[in-house]
Amino acid sequence: MAVVPEPQQLMEAFAAFTQASEQLQQRYESLQGQLGRLQDELQTVLETVPFAIWVLGEDGGVRFTNRPEGLPGQFTDQCPPPWELGAPAGIRQFTDPGGRERFLEQENRPTGSGQIITLRDITEAHLRAQQATREERLQAMGLMAAELAHEIRNPLGSLSLFAGMLVEDLQSQPAQVELAQHIQTSVQRLNTLVTNTLTFSRDIAPKPETFALAEFWEGVRQGSNLPEDVAWQNRVPAEAAWFADPGLLRQVGVNLLQNALRSMDGVAGARLSLSAVPETIEGRPHWRVTLEDNGCGIAAAALSRIFDPFYTTFGGGTGLGLAVSHRILMAHKGLMNIESKVGHGTQVHLRLPAEG
């Protein structure tokens, strides 16, 4: 015969069940709150990390991203954007809305139900790696150039001496004097080339100090004898400053302005503009100065060689200006890179620390 629980027992069991249900409900709500906070924290972390993330499903659809608005700018490698199937991994070239070239590294990691795509900006590291490779090549070429320059200098001195004597001895013979003067002029050009070569190959020891950029570049402009028909716009903020050797950097500035003037030869409405923006590199404040011209531009094939000594895209040049400028920037642990497009002009970017 079945035992029927007493009403009191039923009430106690129901009360215990209700209490357990309430405890479970409270526990559930607590876990839901913790989960919500964790989701908010995770979302905040994903939105603030310095790289973009896309989680794709098996069908290639985007299930999650911390860049729902996409990326401002465009990829220039003719491949699909990262959030589409078939987008390649590795270093990708990208142009931001300001027209500045960036280098982004894409990683594709498969999951059980799709893949995770990450994209991070490695522009600074990529440019420094390029610059370090150039510096190794330039050092090797500099040693060779220095040896040749020393060998050439001794006989060149004799040629200069004898050419001068010929000019003096042939004063009564105008035709012969003119020939001797041509020899003398050519010897002087060779001597200048040898001197520049030795300057390029020697060690550079900067003596840094803090100086204002706007005033510094105005001095460079005046020292470069910029023609009046070339428009000049200096948009460098008054607070912008470099901690560097102003004497060495002046040499860089003059070289860059001379190159810009050559590139704008015959261009209607020739103009030069200068701007500067603050940057933080490895926790240290820097200023990035950009010198832009609207000259003939540099072909893509030549961009990889423009820092090589004795390579020039201008007739009559020595091809040492950018090579020397590059070495000066390296001696300051700075960074120089050039962007250019044929028929549109050139941008030269210089990055140097703002303080010691």
Whole-model pTM?
0.56
* Rounded-to-integer distance, Cα 70 and Cα 82, Å: 10
Digits of tens for pLDDT over the chain (356 positions)?
555 556 777 777 777 777 778 788 888 778 777 777 766 666 665 666 667 888 888 777 887 777 777 778 878 777 888 887 778 888 888 888 777 778 888 888 888 788 888 888 888 777 777 777 766 766 666 666 666 776 777 787 787 888 788 878 888 888 887 887 888 777 766 775 676 666 666 778 899 999 999 999 999 998 887 888 889 999 999 999 999 999 889 988 988 998 898 889 888 889 999 999 999 887 889 999 999 999 889 888 888 788 877 777 776 556 777 888 888 888 898 888 888 888 889 999 999 999 87
297: left (phi over 0), alpha (psi -120 to 50) or beta: left
CATH of the domain at 150: 1.10.287
Q: Is residue 160 part of a domain?
A: yes
* Rounded-to-integer distance, Cα 100 and Cα 330, Å: 22
Q: Is residue 349 part of a domain?
A: yes
**Which contiguous run of DSSP H or E holds residue 212?**
strand 209-212
The upper half-sphere exposure of residue 122, i.e. CA atoms within 13 Å in the direction of its Cβ, equals: 15
Domains of the chain: total: 2
The upper half-sphere exposure of residue 315, i.e. CA atoms within 13 Å in the direction of its Cβ, equals: 1
DSSP 29: H
The b/e string for 318-344 (b: 16+ C-beta within 10 A; e otherwise) is: bbbbbbbbbbbbbbbebbbbbbbeeee
Q: Is residue 300 part of a domain?
A: yes
For 288, the domain range is 209-353
The strand pairing partners of 182, in sequence order, are: none
- Say yes or no: 192 and 237 in one domain: no
Of the three residues 176, 201, 226, the one that is the final residue of a domain is 201
Relative to beta strand 114-121, strand 101-111 is antiparallel
